[in-house]
Structure 1
Amino acid sequence: MARVAVVVGNPKPASRTRAAAEHLARELTGEAPELVVDLAELGGRLLDWSDAEVPALVEQVAAADLVVVASPTYKATYTGLLKLFLDRFAPARGTGLTGVAVPLMLGGGPEHSLAPELTLRPVLSEIGAPLTTAGLYVLDSHHDDPTAYEAWLGRVRPLLTPLLTTGVPA
């Protein structure tokens, strides 16, 4: 059974971004994610390097076989809240991602549809993910519409299913 984590960079707790990320994780694995890190619930603690919970969450996310990393699109990129969390990952110090990373971003219109590919996917690779899927951009107004995910899932699911069953190569 794959260990699945979701990281949500929306500054609003229990957001549509979180719902979309959890939906995507379930669609990819058939099960609810084992760990959901809603960064809005951590708030300013992300800036406190003495806080014990944040590094523990980083370690749990780093060890996941599949990580859905989700953010609303702000100024054509992911949120500062998500950046604060991702800055905690350091592959050279043993806290890099070790599983498949899935970049997911929600936005108000199609003009930012490349944001997951151009901004989020590269940083996920940089922090150690041995495999980062193509990014998925979903219109915020369609976050709860399963058809908004179908084409992407049709392309990615056949590639991920064998990896999640047999293990991600390091």
Structure 2
Amino acid sequence: MTDQKTISVVGVSGSPTHPSRTTALVAEVTSAFATELGGTATVVELAPLLGELGAGPFRGQLGPNAVEALEKVEAADVVVVGSPAYRATYTGLFKLFFDHIGQYALVGKPIVLTATGGSDRHALLVEHQMRPLFGFFQSLTLPLGIFAGERDFEDYRIVSDDLEGRIQSSLKRSLPLIRSHLDPDEVTIDAGFARPHDF
């Protein structure tokens, strides 16, 4: 019997500010999934990487910290993503980061969707904006996203039992899918999709 690889759960906070409620949510969810899977938890905050991510239009022009963050996400077994609602969608910083992710680097990868907003009217950000983005990447977007509002936090800490309950519900719904996906006995099938020419 071969030794099992430690499962890597990487969170990405698309907030342009620090401290951030989004980062607090992403860190909590990343830790919860890593604990249940017996893996490691890492959180990538995009706010400090803004200058490096904007250094040029191509990945080779980005700074070393930005490239390292991209590689962590691409190498992860499970990715937790989160963004605050800006103009009814995810932040430009969040989109800029994922513009540099390899087009086929997230194929089949389990993705946990989270978002924060000033009120519940932003809750559909998860379904209407984030889920289609990771559909483009052909990722395994997990079924129950997690949205949090301002009242769920105090001093950038989660204080809401309701939010903790939503996190636990997401775990219960998602873990069977993740464990099935990560089962080393399963056969990985190459999708064989056509790759368009770079442009």
Give the TM-score of the pair, scaled to structure 1: 0.84
Q: Which amino acid aligns with 2:8?
A: R
Q: Cα–Cα, structure 1 residues 75 and 44, in superposed 2: closer, same or farther, change >3 Å?
A: same
Q: Give the percent of matched residue pairs that are identical in Structure 1 and Structure 2.
A: 32
Question: Which protein, 1 or 2, shows the higher relative CO under an 8 Å CA cutoff with sep ≥ 6?
Answer: 1
Q: Report SS of the residue matched to 1:91.
A: coil
Per-residue CA deviations over 1:25-71 (Å, capped at 9, x if unaligned) read 12222168543210011122211132233223212211100111111
Q: Which amino acid aligns with 1:83?
A: K
Q: Is 144-153 or 57-66 further displaced after alignment?
A: 144-153
**1:118 and 1:105 mapped to 2: Cα distance?**
12
Contact map agreement 1:7 1:37 (CA 8 A) in 2: yes
Q: 1:128: Cα distance to partner? A: 4.3
Q: Report SS of the residue matched to 2:148.
A: strand
Q: 1:167: Cα distance to partner? A: 8.4
Partner of 1:118: 128
Q: 1:165: Cα distance to partner? A: 5.3
Q: Cα–Cα, structure 1 residues 21 and 38, in superposed 2: closer, same or farther, change >3 Å?
A: same
Q: 1:164: Cα distance to partner? A: 4.1
Partner of 2:193: none
Per-residue CA deviations over 1:82-120 (Å, capped at 9, x if unaligned) read 11101102325xxx2252111110112111211111111
Q: Which amino acid aligns with 1:17?
A: T
* Equivalent residues in 2 for 1:89-128, closer than 5 Å: 89-91=101-103, 96-98=105-107, 99-128=109-138
Q: Which amino acid aligns with 2:55?
A: D
Per-residue CA deviations over 1:137-164 (Å, capped at 9, x if unaligned) read 1223215132342333332233324434
Partner of 1:22: 27
Partner of 2:99: 87
Query: Pairwise CA RMSD of aligned residues?
Result: 2.3
5+ unaligned residues in a row in structure 2: which ranges?
1-5, 190-199
**2:74 and 2:138 mapped to 1: Cα distance?**
9
Q: Cα–Cα, structure 1 residues 158 and 15, in superposed 2: closer, same or farther, change >3 Å?
A: same
1:159 aligns with 2:177: yes
1:10 maps to which of 6, 15, 22: 15
Partner of 1:147: 165
Contact map agreement 2:30 2:43 (CA 8 A) in 1: no
Partner of 1:132: 141
* Equivalent residues in 2 for 1:22-101, closer than 5 Å: 22-30=27-35, 33-49=40-56, 50=61, 51-91=63-103, 96-98=105-107, 99-101=109-111
**1:47 and 1:167 mapped to 2: Cα distance?**
41
5+ unaligned residues in a row in structure 1: which ranges?
none
**1:148 and 1:140 mapped to 2: Cα distance?**
15
Question: How many residues matched?
Answer: 166
